[in-house]
Chain A
Amino acid sequence: MIFLTAVTKRFRSSKGIKNAVNEISFKAKKGEIIGFLGPNGAGKTTTMRLILGYLAPTSGSVTIDGLDPIEKRIEVLKKIGYLPENNPLYVEMKVGEYLRFIGQVKGIEDFSSVVDEVGISDVLNTKIEELSRGFKQRVGLAAALIADPEILILDEPTSGLDPIEQDKIRSLIKKISQNKTIIFSTHILSEAEDVANRLIIIDKGKIVYDGVKPQGRGGAEKLFKRLVKS
């Protein structure tokens, strides 16, 4: 269970002090697929990084199964698979080599089931830099799935992919969602509608909607346009 209580994250920059997220609270349970929506700079990535303990909140509290992700960083990270925004990868490594590295760090030697699930068995001996964007995304997803984490945090998992690849990644997320908590951010409202069973909309660092996805095709888009002014 993920718990965020009145979490604020403040950044200092040359332009002054900015609240990237401002007093946000929500909880996420096992089996939920949460679509995290919001315009650019709304605070989606910051919220995800706070859940991971990659960033520390300025105020408020974050707990993962009762553990503070800053104080119990390693225990918390063992529970989470993460696909960061823009999918950074060690591109000079071969796919198999990269996944073996991630697996060994997570204490797993056999990652063949993930390879089959994500459909990258044909490219295990290919250097990541030689892969198409779609395959790179699958490699990033495979790395997040290694060690079968209870929680998956996916920051724009279909960003920059063609519609066919987007469909494949969406199907994959739905397939792996059983008994997991998944939080994924996206700009594609129909994607959130298709994959998620709950929506959180964030704007200017504040949650403006948290609930079930609206009924009917295009419901998420109407809701988003009504709530997000920026």
Chain B
Amino acid sequence: MVTLYKKELKYYLDNPIGYITVVLFSIFVNFLYVKDIFVTGSASMRPFFALLPWLLMIFVPAVTMRILSEEKRSNTIEILLTLPVSETQVVLSKFLAIFTLVALGLVLTIGLPVSLSFLTQIYLPEILVGYLGALLLGAAFIGLSMFFSSQTKNQVVAFLTSVLAIFLLLVISTDFLANVLPKFIQDLAGYFSPVYHLQNFVKGIVDLRSVFYFASLTLMFLFATIIDLEKRN
């Protein structure tokens, strides 16, 4: 599995696409946060974490879209699945390679809390827990995007369907919908929204229900991807 992981990661490290996507993500997230911080005068990392799901909605599908769709288009999937490795190993190694890339993208935002610490008193554990939430959110989005990548031979279709699915997950807990939907649907929809669960981490709370939510979302999509590979669709 280590060999498979290294091969996947190397593709992104040898390819300008990997660097461009990670750097663009970092530039966007840093800029969008910094542009408001001096206007609002609020020195907090909360606006950063509020912004993150929307940026990950583009960044994660962008790095994940080729991961299985390209293997299916070029039929290298037949090479991979006729080597002595299991479908689970194939899916997990690909997941971990992209997770490494997403983690790298988040590492490039560390400058923000560091800069903030010069301006104001920051509470480090709260920020660390926020980043833990961001990693879990990233993992769930990777799982989802991998599943959609496994459903098509076309990278663009994989990207668009993943973005749409993540958008729907994010939008169900927005204030806009909260004003329209009945209360009980709001509560239910909120529980299924990654934004709701990320908020717990942003407050510095490691809520096991939110950990369970992100873990189950990730595992559910990874499992569906493994099943798809086993079915040889």
Chain A contacts to B: CB under 8 angstroms: 52, 54-55, 73-75, 77-78, 80, 82, 84, 86, 88-92, 101-102, 104-106, 143
Q: Which 3 A-B pairs have the closest CB atoms?
A: A88-B75, A104-B3, A77-B84
Complex contact B82–A84 (CB within 8 A): yes
Q: A78–B76 contact, CB under 8 A?
A: no
Sample (5) of A-B pairs whose CB atoms are under 8 Å apart: A54-B82, A74-B86, A84-B78, A89-B76, A143-B79
CA distance A104 to B89 in the complex (A): 14
Flag if B82 contacts A82 (CB, 8 Å).
yes
Collect the chain B residues with CB atoms within 8 Å of residue A82's CB: 82
Given contacts A91-B74, A106-B83, 7 further A-B contacts (CB under 8 A): A55-B232, A75-B84, A77-B82, A86-B75, A89-B76, A104-B3, A105-B4
A102 to B86 CA separation, bound complex (whole angstroms): 14
Cβ contact within 8 Å between A74 and B85: yes
* B-side interface size class: 10 to 19
Give Cα A230 to B44, complex, Å: 74
Are A101 and B84 touching (Cβ within 8 A)?
A: no
Name the CB-closest residue of B to A73.
Answer: B86
User: Hey, which chain A residues are within 8 Å of B82, CB to CB?
Assistant: 52, 54, 77, 80, 82, 84
CA distance A89 to B78 in the complex (A): 10
The answer for the CA separation of A80 and B84 in the assembled complex, in Å, is 9
Does B40 interact with chain A (Cβ within 8 Å)? Answer: no
B167 within 8 A of A: no
Q: Which residues of A contact B14 (CB under 8 A)?
A: 92
Q: In the assembled complex, which residues on chain B have CB atoms less than 8 Å from the CB atom of A104?
A: 3
Question: Would B78 and A101 count as touching, CB distance under 8 A?
Answer: no
Closest beta carbon of chain B to A148's beta carbon, Å:
14
Distance of A215 Cα from B79 Cα, bound (Å)? 37
Instruction: Kindly report which residue of chain B lies nearest to residue A102, judged by CB atoms.
Output: B83
Nearest CB of chain A from residue B10's CB, rounded to whole Å: 8
**B2 to A, closest residue via Cβ:** A104
A75 vs B74: C-alpha distance in the bound complex, in angstroms? Answer: 26
Hey, what's the 0/1 contact readout for B9-20 against A, CB within 8 Å counting as 1? 001001100000
In the bound complex, how far is the Cα of B62 from the Cα of A22, in angstroms? Answer: 43
Given A55-B232, A92-B11, A104-B3, does the pair A77, B76 have CB atoms closer than 8 Å? no
Closest-by-CB residue of B relative to A74 is B84
Q: Is the CB of A77 within 8 A of B79?
A: no
CB distance from A138 to the nearest CB of B (A): 16
Shortest distance from the beta carbon of B17 to any chain A beta carbon, whole Å = 11
- Per the bound structure, the CA–CA distance linking A209 and B82 in Å amounts to 28
* B7, CB-defined interface residue at 8 Å: yes
Residue B81 at the chain A interface, CB threshold 8 Å: yes
Cβ distance B15 to chain A, nearest Cβ, rounded Å = 7
* Cα distance, A128 to B75, chains bound together (Å): 15
Which residues does chain A contribute within 8 Å of B83, judged by CB atoms?
A: 77, 102, 105-106
Nearest CB in chain B: distance from A145 CB, A: 14
